[in-house]
């Protein structure tokens, strides 16, 4: 086949396509969009103050949604309990229909409603006002040229168009109103977290008095009475709690719940920034069920949901991960002296507080402030390495005695030998943790150096 013949065939094909396209376009029914009266101003189709509306009923192929007023800006859906639906979505439906306007007036006194789909409407909306007045609107087809739906209000007998997104709102099924996060906690308002498991109960609590000298803002109440690991709590517990989303309940789900299932209890004391006052304290409870793949069942208010296993994994954490490892820690602002005993020697650092300033005296001699503050950090920085498991205790290796400004702050830390590698840490007579002997040996060497050359100053 020659190039000339190919060119003729291609040109003929293009002409045929253009002719067919012209015929198709000319046969599209746009009569219902003819003579559209369009204005820069808006035609008011319907307007009502939401406070005057008793109910809105929207009937579509997706079912019937009836939104009723149950109080000041509060709405129910299909008479369901308020806890089962998203009231804000219900309010949005009311807002959608309360102010209805259009730029397009299509036809007054239409003879044939079928050309607009209004003989068999996609949505029928009925608004009942508190004064007993009933208003009704029908919504038909989508205009192929305007991209909006045809709408007509009873008693007006004029066809307008309305935005498609408003029609989409009116056509939402009941499942849409059931989908919302039922578990929504401001983590800044949490003041207590309790995890109850068959192996142990863990409870942590925010301190009631927090100031610039506070070392830990969280304390552990169970199983240890001790400071808690703030960084761990912030990153491994509070951050995941903030991500928990319980949106869609799972019907008839077993979830693997039993009497041995872990239970998470979060106590919240809401704070109102506008009033500067706290609200009434309340507790949210989650029961942790079976894990399937990367999702875990949880029960909340007798409904079952699935959440990411990574998010809820902290409910199975060991208390040792959550407790502060600085078991020798005592806030320096509460201490007037600290005595260290080891290898038959005893040395005391006296601390005098003058507002935010401190002066230090070692064994009766005034010493350098910065160096002594560094030594104090080394004392309180002795971090434990494990949990005490009822091992037999030997001799005392070292003792630290804090004398508080208030007697209630008096604290004694004793380290007793377990074996060649570990000592038990005994705080105020209670043995709960272990520490490597190598850490104590390093500290005693450091403290010896400090005692021999603390840069003592004369009075």
259-301 per-position pLDDT tens digit = 999 999 999 999 888 888 889 999 999 999 999 999 999 999 9
Query: Over pLDDT 90: what percentage of the chain?
Result: 74
Sheet-wide strand order for 365-367: 365-367, 357-362, 345-354, 335-342, 396-404, 411-417, 422-427, 430-436, 386-387
Q: What is the pLDDT of residue 456?
A: 55
CA dist 297 and 281 (Å) reads 27
The CB-side HSE value for 47 (13 A sphere, CA atoms) comes to 5
pLDDT in tens, 303-355: 999 999 999 999 999 999 999 999 998 888 889 999 999 999 999 999 999 88
Q: What is the pLDDT of residue 18?
A: 47
Query: Over pLDDT 70: what percentage of the chain?
Result: 89
Provide the whole-model pTM: 0.70
pLDDT in tens, 229-252: 999 999 999 999 999 999 988 988
Q: What is the mean pLDDT of residues 103-130?
A: 95
Q: What is the pLDDT of residue 82?
A: 81
Q: Across the chain, what does the average pLDDT equal?
A: 89
CATH tag for 332-452 (out of 3.30.1300, 1.20.1070, 4.10.830, 3.30.1490): 3.30.1490
Instruction: Report the relative pairing of strands 345-354 and 271-272 from DSSP bridges.
Output: unpaired
Burial status of residue 429 (CB atoms within 10 A of its CB: 0-12, 13-18, 19 or more): exposed
pLDDT in tens, 21-35: 443 334 434 445 555
CA angle 414, 363, 430 (to 5 degrees): 15
CA dist 304 and 254 (Å) reads 8
Q: What is the pLDDT of residue 274?
A: 84
Q: What is the pLDDT of residue 22?
A: 44
Domain ranges of the chain: 35-178, 187-322, 332-452
- Are domains 187-322 and 332-452 of this chain identical in fold? no
Q: What is the mean pLDDT of residues 141-157?
A: 94
pLDDT in tens, 175-231: 999 888 889 899 999 999 999 999 999 999 998 876 666 667 999 999 998 899 999
The one-character DSSP state at 252 is T
| Helix or strand run (H / E) with residue 17 | helix 3-26
Q: How confident is the model at residue 453 (pLDDT cuts 50, 70, 90)?
A: confident
- Candidates 120, 101, 114; CA nearest to 163 is 101
Q: How confident is the model at residue 13 (pLDDT cuts 50, 70, 90)?
A: low
CA dist 92 and 294 (Å) reads 35
Q: What is the mean pLDDT of residues 385-397?
A: 95
**450 versus 71: which is more confidently predicted?**
450
- Candidates 232, 217, 244, 228; CA nearest to 308 is 244
Query: What HEC string does 180-248 produce?
Result: CCCCCCCHHHEEEEEEECCCCEEEEEECCCCCCCCCCCEEEEECCCEEECHHHHHHHHHHHHHHCCCCC
Tokens of 216: 């830990």
Q: How confident is the model at residue 411 (pLDDT cuts 50, 70, 90)?
A: very high
CATH architecture of 187-322: Sandwich (2.60)
- Quote the distance between the C-alpha of residue 80 and its chain's center: 26
Distances (CA, A) of 31 to 24, 157, 448: 15, 19, 100
Task: Say if CB 136 and CB 26 are below 8 A apart.
Answer: no
- Candidates 357, 375, 381, 406; CA nearest to 213 is 357
SS3 content of the chain, % helix, strand, coil (to 5): 25, 40, 35
Task: Say if CB 144 and CB 30 are below 8 A apart.
Answer: yes
**Polymer length of the chain:** 459
In angstroms, the first-to-last Cα distance of the chain is 115
């Amino acid at each position: 086949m020659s190039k000339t013949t190919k060119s003729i065939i291609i040109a003929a094909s293009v002409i045929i396509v253009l002719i067919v396209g012209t015929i198709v376009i000319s046969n599209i029914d746009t009569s219902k969009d003819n003579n559209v009266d369009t204005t820069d101003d808006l035609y008011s189709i319907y307007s009502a103050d939401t406070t005057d509306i008793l109910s809105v009923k929207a009937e579509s192929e997706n079912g019937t949604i009836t939104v009723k007023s149950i109080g000041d800006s509060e709405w129910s859906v299909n008479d369901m309990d308020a806890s089962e639906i998203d009231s804000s979505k219900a309010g949005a439906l009311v807002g959608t229909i309360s102010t209805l306007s259009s730029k397009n007036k299509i036809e007054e006194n239409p003879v044939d409603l079928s050309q607009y789909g209004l003989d068999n409407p996609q949505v029928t909306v009925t608004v009942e006002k508190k004064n007993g007045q009933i208003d009704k609107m029908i919504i038909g087809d989508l205009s192929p040229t305007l991209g909006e739906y045809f709408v007509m209000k009873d008693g007006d007998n004029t066809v307008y168009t309305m935005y498609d997104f408003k029609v989409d709102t009116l056509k939402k099924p009941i499942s849409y109103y059931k989908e919302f996060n039922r578990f929504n906690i401001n983590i800044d308002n949490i003041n207590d977290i309790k995890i109850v498991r068959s192996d142990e109960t863990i409870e942590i609590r925010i301190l009631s008095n927090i100031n610039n000298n506070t070392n830990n803002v969280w304390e552990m109440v169970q199983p240890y009475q001790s400071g808690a690991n703030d960084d761990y709590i912030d990153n491994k517990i509070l951050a995941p709690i903030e991500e928990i989303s319980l949106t869609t309940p799972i019907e008839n789900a077993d979830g693997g719940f039993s009497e041995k299932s872990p239970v998470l209890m979060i106590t919240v004391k809401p704070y109102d920034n506008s009033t500067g006052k706290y609200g009434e304290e309340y507790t949210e409870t989650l029961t942790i069920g079976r894990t399937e793949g990367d999702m875990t069942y949880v029960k909340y208010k007798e409904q079952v949901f699935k959440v990411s296993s990574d998010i809820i994994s902290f409910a199975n954490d060991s208390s040792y991960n959550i407790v502060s490892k600085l078991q020798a820690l005592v806030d320096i602002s509460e201490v007037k002296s600290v005595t260290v005993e080891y290898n038959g020697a005893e040395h005391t650092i006296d601390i005098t507080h003058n507002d935010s300033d401190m002066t230090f005296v070692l064994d009766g001699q005034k010493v350098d402030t910065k160096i002594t503050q560094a030594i104090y950090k080394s004392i309180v920085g002795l971090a434990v390495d494990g949990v005490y498991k009822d091992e037999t205790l030997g001799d005392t290796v070292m003792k630290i005695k804090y004398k508080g400004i208030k007697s209630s702050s008096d604290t004694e830390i004793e380290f007793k030998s377990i074996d060649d590698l570990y000592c038990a840490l005994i705080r105020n007579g209670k043995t709960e943790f272990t520490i490597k002997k190598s850490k104590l040996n390093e500290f005693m060497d450091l403290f010896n150096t400090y005692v021999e050359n603390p840069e003592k100053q004369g009075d």
